[in-house]
Structure formats: structure tokens, C-alpha cells
Amino acid sequence: MNTTHKAPFLIVETGQPATRLRRYGRFPHWIRVAAGLEASEAVVVNVEQGGILPRREGFAGVIVTGSAAMVTDRADWSERSADWLRDAAHDGMSLLGICYGHQLLAHALGGEVADNPAGRESGTVRIDLHPPAQDDPLFSGLPLTFPAHATHVQTVLRPPEEATVLARSEQDDCHAFRWRDRAWGVQFHPEFATHHMRGYVAFRGEELKKAGRCPTTIARDVTAAPQARKLLRRFVKHARGLHAR
């Protein structure tokens, strides 16, 4: 029997799913399942509800969830989390930020986050990889174009110094970046399945209509996004390899 202890991953919970989607659990559960992590391999800290982030020692890596909050609000819990992430990134910890987590990591490292001039992005979108992605530990070998699920109104307008932009979409020029060699942000949601995405389109339906978009059409065009989903398992595998050195 294999009794090798696996260092856990810290999941930083920054918000809750839309009400209609909470029957599927919270964001950390979605992420853990998509990443192939057992319950014993993840430690969840809900920073939005006042949870205190622990010492960094002993974790294989960190995943930061999405949120309906806005990084630009500079909430106390968000700024404290940004300070922690900045120190962790400079200390060489393996980090992955998703949606809000992507924006928070960019902000923590000196980038600029603001409302997307192109408006809300929602549904299954086309991700186009930039050439540096072909040599990236998480993105290498993926198709140059693949589908991913997205729902956000803010974006990384200016990535941090020392960041390499890896991907874009029609509405967002910074859908993924790597900072130095151990920290990543992705604006899309690799943990989303199609039912999560359709639920969010329905939840944001009135906002989409006000922006002149048709939620029925967006929901109909939602497709599976297996390449995007691979990124979570790739991050876990890569982070474990680095942690074992």
C-alpha cells in the first residue's frame, strides 16, 4: 500500500457561487474535483469571510478562486490576501489565480485591474495562445485555439512587470499570464463544467440584455472545454514536482 504523504494545496476562497449554483457546492469543491485532488489534499481558507491565511510552509501550491467581488474595491480582506500572495510569489511558491484570483494576483504584483472596456465577457469563449505559451509548463502542447468558460466584467488592463502574457480572447487581451516561472493567472474558469457556465449566463441574463447581448444565444453556444480544464491538473502536477525538489 502506498502511504506516501502528499503535501496539500491551499485553496484561497474569495467568494461564493451565484445562488442558483450553490447546490453544486462552493468554488473550492469545483476546483478540487477538476484538479483531481482528494479532500485530504486541500486546505480551504475563506478570506472573504475573515479567514486568516496560514504560514506558507508545507503547501505544494496555492489556488485562488473566483468571486463576484471587485479587486478595485480594495476591500480589507482582498488587500490582505494580495499582500500574502505578493510575498508568496516573491518567495517562489507555486500559485494559480482564477478569474478574481487572476486579477488579484496581477494587482498584488503591480499590474492594473479595471473594468473591461469591451464590457462583460460571458459564455464559452475562444482562447488564442501567444507563442510563449508553447514553452509554458501549463500551456505547452495545447491547441493554439481552444474553448474556455468565462464570466467577468473586470480585467487585467496591464500585467505586472516580469509577466508574460500567454493568451487572449476577442474581448480580453490578458486571459492568462505567467509571472516569473511559478505564478500563473487565468481569467477563464478551468473548473467550470457546462452546467456551471449555463447557470452563470442565466444568472447574468438581465445584465447581458442591457449590454445588447442575448443570453439565450450565449447559453446555446456553451460547449465543453476539456483543454481549459486540463490546466488545473497540469498545475497540480507541476507544483508537486517543484515542491519535491
- DSSP H/E element including 76: helix 76-90
111: exposed, middle or buried (Cβ count in 10 Å: 0-12, 13-18, 19+): buried
Alpha helices in 169-221 (DSSP H): 194-203, 205-210, 215-220
- Whether the CB-CB separation of 121 and 140 falls below 8 Å is answered with no
CA dist 53 and 10 (Å) reads 9
99 flagged as catalytic? yes
5 annotated active-site: no
Spell out the residues 6+ positions from residue 220 whose beta carbon is closer than 8 angstroms to its own: none
Q: Could you say which of 107, 152, 189, 196 is catalytic? A: 189
Pair 223, 147: CB distance under 8 Å: yes
Q: CB-side exposure of 202: number of CA atoms within 13 Å? A: 12
Task: Tell which phi-psi region holds residue 99, choosing left (phi > 0), alpha (psi between -120 and 50) or beta.
Answer: left
Residues 13, 48, 121, 191: which is the catalytic one? Answer: 191
**Neighbour count for residue 169 (Cβ, 10 Å):** 19
Which residue, chain included where needed, has cell 508574460? 164
Which residue of the set 13, 99, 107, 149 is catalytic?
99
CB distance 156 to 102 below 8 Å: yes
Which residues does the annotation mark as catalytic?
99, 189, 191
